[in-house]
Amino acid sequence: MMQKPPRPIGITILGIIEILIGVLGLLVSIAIIGVSALFSTLPTVGTLIGTVGVVIGGVFAFFSLIWLATGVGFLHGKGWAWTLGMIFTVLSILGAAYVAFTGVYQAGYALVFWIIMIIYLTRSHVKVFFGKGTVPSYMPAMNTQPTMRSAPVLQSQTQYAPMASPTLQYNPTPAPMPAQTPATATGKCRSCGMPLAPGNSFCTNCGAKQ
């Protein structure tokens, strides 16, 4: 959902003016109805004057309530208030133009005012405030969706663990074994005279027993 932009200052002024018009109209309607009630006590024409006065006072009260509601809706940016404001502005333009054409040229000032008002109400930023238009391309859209902040990723402990110092392993070198020297001959064969290895009972050359 798009967030509503701040209320334009012109809408604030128009809303206050419409509320004042509504309150003033209600006071006038109450006064008209009260005076009509007094005239209704007169003989012959009293009933007619009282009835007409009550009708006029009721009409004043009806439109005054609409003006009052429209002013409150303007301050809160309600779409129906913008629609009522446009309808009343168009009707006021037609009424002021008719009065001006009949010879009351002072109505021209009211005609200019209502024309300026309808132009202002159709401005893009005003319509956006009432939810009647889209955000212009030069206005950044406001996002109201809650943004999820990602939690900091805890990296593995091995990344932050200090590098282990190399351990010195002690591998003792085995002592060299002394080389075995072959046994030397201790005697000779009695038959052929070849040297005999110690412990041999037979000659490796002639096979004679010793």
Handedness of CA 70, 75, 79, 83 (dihedral sign): positive
Domain count, the chain: 1
Structure tokens at 100: 């001006």
Global pTM reads 0.58
Q: Residue 167 domain-assigned?
A: no
Handedness of CA 96, 97, 103, 108 (dihedral sign): positive
Q: Residue 190 domain-assigned?
A: no
Beta bridge partners of 187: 196
Per-position pLDDT tens, the chain of length 210? 557 789 999 999 999 999 999 999 999 999 999 998 888 887 777 788 888 889 999 999 999 999 999 999 999 999 999 999 999 899 989 998 999 898 888 888 989 999 999 999 999 999 999 998 776 554 554 554 555 555 555 554 444 445 555 555 555 566 666 555 454 456 788 888 888 777 777 788 887 777
Q: Buried b vs exposed e over 112-122: b needs ≥16 C-beta within 10 Å?
A: eebeebeeebe
Residue with tokens 């412990």: 199
Range(s) of the domain holding residue 27:
9-129
Q: Residue 150 domain-assigned?
A: no
Q: Residue 96 domain-assigned?
A: yes
